[in-house]
Structure 1
Amino acid sequence: MDTTKTTNIQFDSINISSLKSVVNIYQSKVKDSENKFAKSSSHFGLPLSIASFDNRVIGYAFVAINKAGKPEINSYWEQEFYSVEAEQDLKFHAQNAFFTAFKDPETRTNKIQNAAEKLFNWLNVCN
């Protein structure tokens, strides 16, 4: 696969059916001895968008609160599918989802932190 082209990669909003793939990608990046989520909800963030290739989730973008207390969009990928162009497209899609979901800048940080923590805890219990 030519990873410099994004024409065959599709970008979509996160949904419940893609969460297992998101968890698998995250766990491949960061694991602890019990195969539960390592780190914290602030590291996992709040997933917003997925990238898929041939109906397989290959990456996802998430929003997390950075050390300066500001929302920041990051992504995790299956290594063989990563490219700068694909990452930019995924983050653009995630940014649109972010501004749709978190319109009020005054409450944005708290809402993101609460949602990420609830999702992280729920996934930790389910996984």
Structure 2
Amino acid sequence: MELNLKQQQLLNFRAVTISDLNAVTSLYQQHNTAISNTNFKFNHHFGLPLYVAEWNNEIVGYSYVVLVNPNDYCLKTNIATAYSNEPINKNLMLKTEYFFKKEWQHVSSKNLTIAIDQLVKWLNNSIS
């Protein structure tokens, strides 16, 4: 199913900003319903958010990178169920792959680990 012109005008992809983190963490928690308790703490599985998908100025999905081992990473997406469709996911992943290669291709996995750890620590301290 291809997006029609009107749908494309309502859909936007862009790099994640700090002001997006409330929406991103909310989507993360919605997709990980086992973490809805009040003592929830983020961990390295949260990853490093990279890009967001906006539908009519509302964040409906995001992409992120996680380390699968010390020398390898994986790019993933998390789309709100109501907006979960192949064109949004595919386009978000394409934008993310380009962005990640451009911004992170010369960065070591160690630096990526540090970035993820620092974000997770900051998020956990901000919700405490």
Change (3 A) 1:9 1:114: same
Q: Is the 8 A contact 1:10 1:53 kept in 2?
A: yes
1:54 aligned residue (42, 53, 56): 56
TM-score, normalised via structure 1 length: 0.84
Post-superposition CA distance 1:45-82 (Å, at most 9, x none): 11000001111100000011125841111011110101
TM-score, normalised via structure 2 length: 0.84
1:97 aligned residue (99, 102, 124): 99
Post-superposition CA distance 1:100-121 (Å, at most 9, x none): 22131xx431111110111011
CA RMSD of superposed structures (Å):
2.0
1:33 and 2:37 correspond: yes
Matches within 5 A, 1:1-127: 5=3, 7=8, 8-30=10-32, 31-34=35-38, 36-37=40-41, 40-41=43-44, 43-67=45-69, 69-104=71-106, 107-127=107-127
Which structure dedicates a bigger proportion of its chain to helix?
2
Q: 5+ unaligned residues in a row in structure 1: which ranges?
A: none
Higher relative contact order (CA 8 A, sep 6+): 1
1:4 shift after superposition: 5.8
Moved more, 17-26 or 62-71: 62-71
Larger radius of gyration: 2
Q: Is the 8 A contact 1:27 1:35 kept in 2?
A: no
User: Structure 1 runs of 4+ off > 3 angstroms?
Assistant: none
